[in-house]
Chain A
Amino acid sequence: MPQLNMVQAINLALKEEMMRDPDVVILGEDVGKNGGVFRVTEGLWEQFGSERVIDTPLAESGILGISIGMAAYGLKPVAEIQFVGFTYPALDQIFSHASRIRSRSRGRYTCPLVIRTPYGGGIKAPELHEESPEALFCHMPGIKVVVPSTPYHAKGLLVSSIRDPDPVLFLEATRLYRLIKEEVPEGDYTFPLGKARIVREGKNITLVAWGSMLHKVLQAVEGYDDVEVIDLMTLHPFDEETLFKSARKTGRVIIVHEAPKTCGFGAELSATLAEEAMLYLKAPILRVTGYDVVMPLPKLEDFYLPTVQRIRKAMEDIIKY
Chain B
Amino acid sequence: MPEKILESFEIRRLEILDPKGEVDESLMPSLSADEIKKMYELMILSRTFDQRAIDLQREGRLGTYASILGQEATQVGSAFTIQKSDWIFPSFREMGVYMTLGYPIHQLYQYWAGDERGLKAPEDLNIFPICVPIGTQMLHAAGAAMAAKYKRDPIVVITYFGDGATSEGDFHEAFNMAGVFKLPVVFICQNNHWAISLPRERQTAAKTLAQKAYAYGFEGIQLDGNDIFAVYKGTKDAIEKARRGEGPVFIECVTYRMSSHTTADDATRYRSKEEVEMWKLKDPILRLKLFMERKGLWTEPYQKEIEERSRQIIDEAVRVAESVEPPHPEDMFTYTYAKPTFRQLKQMEDF
Residues of A within 8 A of B (CB): 25, 51-52, 54, 56-57, 59, 61-62, 64-75, 77, 89, 92-93, 96-97, 101-110, 141-142, 144, 164-166, 194, 237, 240-241
Contacts and interface: CB of A to CB of B under 8 A. Distances in A.
Interface centre among A69, A70, A109 (most CB of B within 10 A): A69
Nearest to B178: A66
A66 B143 contact: yes
A70 B136 contact: no
A65 B337 CA distance: 19
B116 A69 contact: no
B150 interface: yes
B177 A66 contact: yes
A220 B120 CA distance: 52
Contacts of B147: 69-70, 73-75
A136 B200 CA distance: 36
B145 interface: yes
Contacts of B177: 56-57, 59, 62, 66
B342 A109 contact: no
19 contacts: A57-B177, A57-B180, A61-B173, A66-B177, A69-B144, A70-B143, A70-B147, A71-B143, A73-B151, A92-B136, A105-B121, A105-B128, A105-B129, A107-B120, A108-B123, A166-B337, A194-B341, A237-B343, A241-B342
B140 interface: yes
B176 A97 contact: no
Nearest to A104: B129
A97 B131 CA distance: 9
B98 interface: no
B139 interface: yes
Contact of B335 (A74, A103, A237): A103
Contacts of A57: 173, 176-177, 180
Nearest to A96: B133
B120 A65 contact: no
Contacts of B116: 103-104, 106
Interface string B133-155: 10010111111111110110000
A166 B338 contact: yes
A69 B121 contact: no
Nearest to B157: A69
Given A61-B170, A73-B144, A106-B119, A93 B139 contact: yes
Given A65-B173, A166-B337, A237-B342, A74 B151 contact: yes
Nearest to B179: A57
Contacts of B342: 194, 237, 240-241
B128 A142 contact: no
A70 B129 contact: no
B336 interface: yes
A109 B129 CA distance: 9
Contacts of B132: 96
A102 B119 CA distance: 11
Nearest to A60: B173
Which of A73, A93, A141 has the most chain B CB within a 10 Å cutoff? Answer: A73
Given A61-B173, A74-B147, A106-B120, A69 B336 contact: no
Nearest to A95: B133
Contacts of A110: 338
Nearest to A164: B338
B128 A109 contact: yes
Contacts of A237: 341-343
Contacts of A89: 169
Contacts of A62: 139, 142, 170, 173-174, 176-177
Contacts of B337: 102, 142, 144, 165-166
A64 B139 CA distance: 8
Contacts of A101: 129
Q: What are the 7 A-B residue pairs with the smallest beta carbon separation, nearest first?
A: A69-B143, A65-B139, A62-B173, A66-B143, A73-B147, A237-B341, A106-B120
A109 B127 CA distance: 10
B338 A69 contact: no
Contacts of B174: 62, 65-66
Nearest to A240: B342
Nearest to B150: A51
Interface in B270-307: none
Contact of B146 (A59, A70, A107): A70
A214 to B, nearest CB: 22
A75 B147 CA distance: 7
Contacts of A54: 146
A64 to B, nearest CB: 8
B170 to A, nearest CB: 6
B139 A72 contact: no
Given A77-B143, A108-B119, 10 more contacts: A62-B139, A65-B170, A65-B174, A68-B143, A69-B143, A72-B140, A75-B151, A102-B338, A105-B119, A109-B129
A117 B157 CA distance: 29
Contacts of A77: 143
A72 B147 CA distance: 9
B40 interface: no
